[in-house]
Amino acid sequence: MAKTQRIGIIGSGGIASAHVRAYKQLTDVEIVAVADVISGKAESFIDKEQLHGASPFEDHRKLLELDLDGVSICTPNASHHVTTVDALRAGKAVLLEKPMSVTLQEAIDMVHASQETGSMLTIGFQPRYDPNMKVVNDIVQSGKLGKVYYVETGGGRRRGMPGGTFIRKDLAGAGAMADIGCYSLDMALNALGYPKPLTVSAYTSNHFGTNPVYHPEADKFDVEDFGVALVRFENDLVLQFKISWAMHMDSLGSTMFLGTEGGLKVNPFGTGNWSGVWDGRVGDMKLFHDFMGKQTETPIPVTNSDTNLFFEKVRDFSEAVREGRTAPIPGEQIVIQQAIIDGVLRSSSLKREVAIELPF
Ligand SMILES: NC(=O)c1ccc[n+]([C@@H]2O[C@H](COP(=O)([O-])OP(=O)(O)OC[C@H]3O[C@@H](n4cnc5c(N)ncnc54)[C@H](O)[C@@H]3O)[C@@H](O)[C@H]2O)c1
């Protein structure tokens, strides 16, 4: 019989329940501890989720003193850094919720902690498990598009602003660009093989979030609800990235890859206030190319699978830990998109283009 895998959960809010639901479907996995800074919250979570025998903690460092195989880090973005670095240095494998961090330096620290300790760090981008993500990667990497020189990604919700910890800079660090923008960036950059960014020029605003007509917590809202950025990469490639949580428009458009031999358009799934952004489901895809001298459009069949993307990410982490595999979505890769988000925040505050410097 396989040894029971011992898991800890740090941060017991909304997304922690999704982690618990996934771990519970796995055999030989037990959630043995939960930590939350709010007094009594870990106990209530253990009761609510029926994690019989799990130990509650307020301080994540106490949880990390236990014998654990891995931890899920489900705290708001601003606490990702301290909890992740402490967990890696305590020798625990980490499944960290997206976005990886707030600043680039925090993400670099995490990668160093993982490399120095040999503890695995994987970032929780569940859309990677969408079969359509593989199709996008295969098309871009097949060379069928020729040299890809321009990519546009992002998308926008007409009215889909979260509240609570997501809208406070001290807890979330950033707003829409990091919260949902990270998914679009991952789709585009993963397909492109995570090229090295050089500069970013960005604009962000929060006209909706700070207006009580549109947001019930307008007085607490101090992150961006809209942003646009132009990113230059090392291999003569540019990427335009735009995101909104709220706007007077139905869409900010599709993701598109423009290449010298072809173009790929990926439309977001769904309609309505909270749709219009890439977060794991593709609406439809089309390849634009010339065939026998004729301008041709080829629809790409979309797989509408009932894969539970969230379960897949937790399963893959758990199995990678058990099998001693490398991180499914390594911190070393996601640090690159964190460099872009860090650049977006710096550029929009300085109101000019900024350079991106990566130590790797
Ligand atoms: N992958 C996804 O689909 C998805 C969806 C929603 C949220 N998220 C991410 O998950 C993270 C958490 O989001 P949420 O909606 O659960 O937020 P939340 O505010 O509901 O819960 C966060 C919890 O963490 C606790 N916390 C804060 N600092 C802590 C610390 N240092 N140690 C222990 N506990 C701490 C808070 O008290 C709170 O209970 C965010 O980074 C968010 O971006 C991912």
pLDDT at residue 199 is higher than 90: yes
* 126 three-state secondary structure: helix
Convert the pLDDT of each residue in 131-151 to its tens digit: 999 999 999 999 999 999 999
Residues paired with residue 277 on neighbouring β-strands, in sequence order: 155
Q: Which of 57, 82, 95, 97, when mutated, tests ligand 1's pocket best, judged by the most ligand atoms within 8 Å of its CB? A: 97
Give bridge partners of residue 205 from the DSSP assignment: 226
Q: Going by CA atoms, what residue is nearest to atom 5 of ligand 1? A: 15
At 326-340, the pLDDT tens digits run 999 999 999 999 999
pLDDT above 70 (res 304): yes
pLDDT value at position 278? 83
Report the mean per-residue pLDDT for the chain.
96
Mean pLDDT on 77-85: 97
User: Concatenated DSSP letters for 157-175?
Assistant: -SB----GGGG-HHHHSS-
Q: Is the pLDDT of residue 171 over 80?
A: yes
Residue whose tokens read 């990677």: 128
- Do the two domains 5-126+309-329 and 128-305+339-355 of this chain adopt the same fold? no
CB 261 within 8 A of CB 107: no
By percentage, how much of the chain surpasses pLDDT 70?
100
Strand 197-205 relative to strand 93-97, pairing? unpaired
In this model, does residue 269 exceed pLDDT 90? Answer: no
Q: What is the mean pLDDT of residues 30-48?
A: 98
The answer to which of 74-78, 254-258, 304-308 has the lowest mean pLDDT is 304-308
| Other beta carbons within 10 Å of 130 | 23
**Confidence class of residue 280 from pLDDT cuts 50, 70 and 90?**
confident
CB atoms within 10 A of CB 249: 11
Residues with CB under 6 A from ligand 1: 10-16, 35-38, 41, 60, 74-77, 79, 83, 97-98, 124, 126, 164-165, 179
3-state secondary structure of 245: coil
Using the CB atoms, write b or e for 182-192: b if 16+ within 10 Å. Answer: bbbbbbbbbbb
pTM equals 0.96
Distance 16 CA to ligand 1 centre (A): 7
Nearest to 140 by CA among 225, 262, 304: 262
Predicted pLDDT at 2: 75
- Tens of pLDDT, residue by residue over 178-188, are 999 999 999 99
- As a whole number of angstroms, the distance between CA 141 and CA 193 comes to 8
DSSP 176-217: HHHHTHHHHHHHHHHHTT-PPEEEEEEEEE-TTTT-TTT-TT
Q: Which of 9, 36, 123 to mutate to test the pocket of ligand 1 (most atoms within 8 A of CB)?
A: 36
Q: How far apart are CA 49 and CA 233, in angstroms?
A: 45
Architecture of domain 5-126+309-329: 3-Layer(aba) Sandwich (3.40)
Contact 226, 209 (CB under 8 A): no
- pLDDT tens for 221-240 read 999 999 999 999 999 999 99
The pLDDT of residue 1 is 62
Closest ligand 1 atom to 125 CA: 1
Between these two residues, 20 and 271, which has the higher pLDDT value? 20
Confidence (pLDDT) at 359: 83
pLDDT-derived band at 276 (thresholds 50, 70, 90) equals: confident
* Nearest atom in ligand 1 to 60's CA: 32
CATH 3.40.190.290 is right for the domain spanning 128-305+339-355: no
Q: What is the pLDDT of residue 146?
A: 98
Domain spans of the chain? 5-126+309-329, 128-305+339-355
* The pLDDT of residue 106 is above 90: yes
